[in-house]
Structure formats: C-alpha cells, structure tokens
Amino acid sequence: MRLILLGPPGAGKGTQATVLSETLKIPHISTGDIFRANIKGGTPLGLLAKSYIDSGKLVPDDVTIDIVANRLSDEDCASGFIMDGFPRTIPQAQMFDEMLGKLDRKVEAVINIIADDSIIIKRLSGRRMCSCGKTYHIANNPPKVEGKCDVCNSSLYIRDDDKEETIKERLKIYHEQTSPLVDYYQKKGLILNFDGTKPIEVTTREILDSLNNK
Ligand code: ADP
Ligand code: ADP
Ligand code: ZN
C-alpha cells in the first residue's frame, strides 16, 4: 500500500506509522527522521536542514523532494510505503504525484489525524525520542524504564524543536502551508479522517479497519 500520514505536529503520525509499518509490512519514511539522522551525522544536508528545523520553519521544497525521490528508489519501497511528514506543502504534493506517476504508481490513501492546537502543545512538551525511531510521552506513553528505550535501551532525548516557542511557530506553519493538503487530497477522494485524541491503540485499530474496508 502507498499511504500518506497527514496531521499537525504532535498529532501522532510517527507513533501510528511505526505500528502500521510493522503490521502492513511496508517501510515507514519520515522526512523528519531523515533530516535528524543527517544532523546527527554532520552531513551537508544536516547542516542545511538544522537552521530551518530549529526555528520551526520548513526545509525548502527542492531539498525535501530530492531526499524523498532518493529514498523511494530503494528496493524496499516496491511493496509500498507510509510517508510520515511528507508532503507538507502543495508544491511537494504536486511533485510527489508527478514522481509516482512516472513510476506508474499513485497514493492510495491519506490518513488525516486530527488534533487541536491545545492538545498538541501538551503532547510535544512531553515527547521523548529514541534515535532508533521510537517515540514516547512522559505521561501518555512512557517507556518501561524511565529515560530508556523499550526496544533498544538507548537513552531517550528531547528534540531541540520541541520547545514551546518553536512549537507555536510549527503550528502556524502547519495551518498556513500544510493544512491546505487536506483539501488537495479530499478532491482526489483519498482522505480518511481520524480523531487523534483517542488512545493510541484505538486510533491504530480504526486506521487498520478503514484501510481494510477501502
Ligand atoms: P507526530 O509524528 O505527528 O509529530 P508523535 O507520534 O511523535 O507525533 O506524537 C507526539 C507525542 O504524543 C509523543 O510524545 C507521543 O508519544 C504522544 N502521542 C501520540 N499519539 C497519542 C495519543 N493518541 N494519545 C496520547 N498521546 C499520544
Ligand atoms: P513533527 O511531526 O513533530 O512536526 P517531523 O519530525 O515530521 O516533526 O519534522 C521535523 C521538522 O523537519 C519540521 O518542523 C521541518 O522543519 C522539517 N521537515 C520534516 N518534513 C518536512 C517536509 N516534508 N518539508 C519541509 N520540512 C520538513
Ligand atoms: Zn530505541
């Protein structure tokens, strides 16, 4: 399946993508994770992306499209993918459609996770990350041992952009540049809406059920 996860920062895209990727056996592609891995590795892409990410802005479209095109050419994407955090602008969505069109493929469903701004601020300020890609929340989804990843036992960290000021900027950018994508995909009949305030497992079940019924 070729899926996109849409929703504001903190809606639960990464959390759902991890489970969906395991269940549906398709790769989870997070542009945010790719940027963070590059920042950690000190690559030229990481250096460029860092200034945008730390200020809550979007990385330029041409840079982002290139990394997605590159990742899509990997063999594991033949079975499909779950895009998490991409596309985030109308030009990205248009270029993505073109890119898939050339491969005779298209997006099959867009999973839109809805959560309002007040809940997001609480979510992101309690978020804890692991470099293996797993995400936790100090109250809602804590690890078994405080500060350590359940999967790989690494120390958890707080993202530099999960500060209240940066969160507000990211939300503003979401409303201006990303939320128009709901309409874009609605017109193509691809949107499936989910209430992101329900417990994690409930939302996962609802997403899997609605994909089965498609
Ligand atoms: P996104 O990828 O959309 O930015 P995440 O999946 O990283 O969002 O989730 C943001 C934070 O909220 C994390 O700390 C995560 O553990 C927590 N979270 C995710 N889904 C839920 C949920 N349904 N209920 C409560 N907390 C959640
Ligand atoms: P969240 O789900 O919490 O918003 P992500 O991990 O998806 O965070 O993204 C973190 C940051 O990486 C974004 O705020 C943005 O700066 C950058 N980024 C990720 N995906 C994209 C994209 N598709 N286009 C532009 N910038 C992106
Ligand atoms: Zn881990």
Q: List the chain domain ranges.
A: 2-27+74-116+178-212
CA of 134 to the centre of ligand 3 (A): 6
Pocket residue to mutate for ligand 1, from 84, 137, 151, most atoms within 8 A of Cβ: 137
Q: Is the dihedral of CA 116, 83, 30, 99 positive or negative?
A: negative
- DSSP letter (8 states) at residue 74: S
- Which of 2, 105, 148, 159 is catalytic? The answer is 159
127 assigned to active site: yes
Task: State the chain's maximal CA–CA distance in angstroms.
Answer: 47
Count the Cβ atoms, other than its own, within 10 Å of residue 144: 8
Q: Which CATH architecture has domain 2-27+74-116+178-212?
A: 3-Layer(aba) Sandwich (3.40)
Per-residue tens of pLDDT for the chain, all 214 residues:
999 999 999 999 999 999 999 999 999 999 999 999 999 999 999 999 999 999 999 999 999 999 999 999 999 999 999 999 999 999 999 999 999 999 999 999 999 999 999 999 999 999 999 988 899 999 999 999 999 999 999 999 999 999 989 999 999 999 999 999 999 999 999 999 999 999 999 999 999 999 998 7
Q: Which ligand 1 atom sits closest to the C-alpha of 8?
A: 3
Q: Is the CB of residue 85 below 6 angstroms from any atom belonging to ligand 2?
A: yes
Beta bridge partners of 4: 83, 110
Q: Is the CB of residue 12 below 6 angstroms from any atom belonging to ligand 2?
A: no
2 assigned to active site: no
Nearest CA to ligand 2 atom 19: 32
Q: Is the CB of residue 15 below 6 angstroms from any atom belonging to ligand 2?
A: no
- Judged by its nearest atom, the ligand closest to the C-alpha of residue 17 is 1
Q: Is the CB of residue 12 below 6 angstroms from any atom belonging to ligand 1?
A: yes
Long-range contacts of 121-125 (CB under 8 A, 24+ apart): 121/10, 121/164, 121/167, 121/168, 123/10, 123/12, 124/9, 124/10, 124/162, 124/167, 125/162, 125/164, 125/167
